Amino acid sequence: MNDRVKAVDESMFNQEVLNSDKPVLVDFWAAWCGPCRMVSPVIDQLADEYSDKIKVVKVNVDENPSLASHYDIMSIPSVFLFKDGKKVDGLIGVRPKQLYESMINKHI
């Protein structure tokens, strides 16, 4: 994980995501998840390329089961975009970088 991507847990989620003044890209993942490892470099690139427009965080679903449950995470990776405290968009599974960019660009 690069230094522009912050690991967030249940205690920090409201402050870092829901109360953020910027849109927040949230990667719900787990250490054992192969597809999550495939998406991780793309998430890092997006964090670098959009650092002035969005915040990027990761939530480990094994360590934060109540967040996973609250957002109905059934498959990982699940990458959601939050804006003004609400989930406004999302992609599930391994997707091309262009789809993540398109999702971000639609909301910034």
Active site residues: 33, 36
CB 23 within 8 Å of CB 83? yes
**What is the Cα–Cα distance from 94 to 8, expressed in whole angstroms?**
21
